[in-house]
Amino acid sequence: MLGGMWTGQKQGITDGEMDGQVDVVVVGAGYAGLAAALRLKDEGIDFVVLEASGRVGGRVLSEVREGGAVVDQGGQWVGPTQKNLLALAERFGCETFPSWEEGRHIEVWRDGSRVAYDGAAPEAGPGIDDYCRVTTLLDAMAKSVDLDQPWLTPDFELWDSQTAESFFRAQTGDEDAIRRLALAIQGVWSCEPREISLFHVVFYIAAADGYEQLMETRDCAQDSRFHGGAAAPATALAVELGDRLCLNTPVEAVEQDEQGAMVRTGSGVIRARRVVVALPPPATSGISFTPTLSISRRGWLAHSPMGRVAKVHAVYTQPFWRAAGLSGIATVYDDGPVGVVFDNSPADASMGILVGFVYGDRVSDWAERPAAERRAAVLETLAAIAGPQATDPVDYTEKIWPYDEFAQGGYEAYVTPGGWTGYARDGWRTPSGVIHWAGTETAGRWNGYIDGAIGSGYRAADEVLAAMVDAR
């Protein structure tokens, strides 16, 4: 056995003396890397986690603001079928509370008109019939998807050769239905319908077990939030990993040889028998691999750009919109930056928080504007939804994910047309020698979500464990 005692911490990472050897190096301490590490720890494997940034959680980033508000700048919600995340939270004693959805929801249309509705989704309004017909069709298509070997799906190539946009336009000529469908793509995949493979959309719906699961709140993906923020389980897990977790340690290169791999960082080199890389695709492409990755793996990464999203929070002394009978939930079809708004107040409503999402094409223009203009444009939309008091928050914060050094976008990477067909069979998550691939983008269940990230970490760790047993 090659793995020996991990001595990197004892030697002091900060003074550049990190060299050591372990059985497994895990690259990345988002939920995928952390889950892989936890499984390895539970199995008594000698490992170390190398994380580029100064914190754990990756695309989950819970921030305590000066006034005490906790805002989730990245991933935040958990749904009842996301068993990996719920079990992890339970293990570390992290509790959830239901997302607020009482009151009337609002749709804002292009002409500025505001339409209030009750219930989970609008039952009337421009384009609603064709929107429902097309999404029902997507759901039916999703039932045929093979989640573990997606290339075995009967219409795999046909669907992967189209964009969501071309499919929508073939199904309906109703521009309002197209607008609704476009907002759904932006809202779930944070890209435009013209950019994403239809197969990827259908696969993703299947991975969540239905379109409604992706879109709705109660009993669906937006069901609950975490007290203290969605990074709470990650932070607790990091404590358990102790000195096996090295922050501020970006991996620069992974070189495979007969004995395993050399993992190079700015502070030293670690020899490992196996490596789990748990990064989003652009970050993976930023690492130098020797030998070079296969054409399939590189093709897959090249066809997996990150979505583009910004999350904005406005904090108020109270959730004043609730007194007016409003839920704070809104979908916005006008030309402003914000597409969707939710009430993100704490469970005890001790303050009021609205969260807005800016995504797809909307974020590209908005993000380049001066900060004051960005803020004014967001608050204008919040006022249209919640009332004029919304223009005067006690705190305002935004996180523009395409500018994040490590994630380079969000929520997740989507696959462009032809990506699945050309490269997935060998490039999606098949190990490359002693390198095992994790990260939410490699998940077959809840792909793109925290739950999928955790599941991918467990799967990669299980691959490692099986390989180590085989090597005995």
Give the residues lining the site for ligand FAD (CB under 6 A).
27-33, 50-53, 58-60, 74-77, 250-251, 278-280, 283, 286-287, 309, 311, 401, 406-407, 410-412, 439-440, 448-451, 453
**Half-sphere exposure for 408 (CA within 13 Å, toward CB):** 13
Q: Which residue, 205 or 407, has its beta carbon nearer to ligand FAD?
A: 407
Of the two residues 32 and 88, which places its CB atom closer to ligand FAD in the complex? Answer: 32
Minimal distance, residue 221 CB to ligand FAD, in Å: 7
| CB closer to ligand FAD, 56 vs 181 | 56
In this structure, how many other beta carbons lie within 10 angstroms of the beta carbon of residue 50?
25
Nearer to ligand FAD, 27 or 141 (CB): 27
Q: Output the smallest distance, CB 448 to ligand FAD, in A.
A: 5
Q: Read off the tokens for 167.
A: 């499919």
Residue nearer to ligand FAD on the CB measure, 141 or 261: 261
Identify the DSSP state of 248: S
Nearest 5°: the CA angle 51, 55, 59 is 85
CB of 52 to ligand FAD, least distance (A): 3
Min dist. Cβ of residue 11 to ligand FAD (A): 19
The minimum distance between CB 56 and ligand FAD, in angstroms, equals: 7
Structure token pair of residue 175: 């521009």
Angle of CA points 227, 228, 233, to nearest 5°: 90
Task: Label each residue of 29-64 as H, E or C.
Answer: CCHHHHHHHHHHHHCCCCEEEECCCCCCCCCCCEEE
Cα–Cα distance, 215 to 349 (Å, whole number): 24
- Least Å from the CB of residue 455 to ligand FAD: 10
- Its sign, for the CA torsion 426, 430, 434, 439, is positive
Nearer to ligand FAD, 61 or 326 (CB): 61
Q: Strand 352-359 relative to strand 340-343: parallel, antiparallel, unpaired?
A: antiparallel
Q: For the purposes of burial, counting CB atoms within 10 Å of the CB of 15, is it exposed (0-12), middle (13-18) or buried (19 or more)?
A: exposed
Angle ∠(298,302,305) on CA atoms, nearest 5: 140
Write down the least CB distance from residue 189 to ligand FAD, Å: 11
Nearer to ligand FAD, 319 or 439 (CB): 439
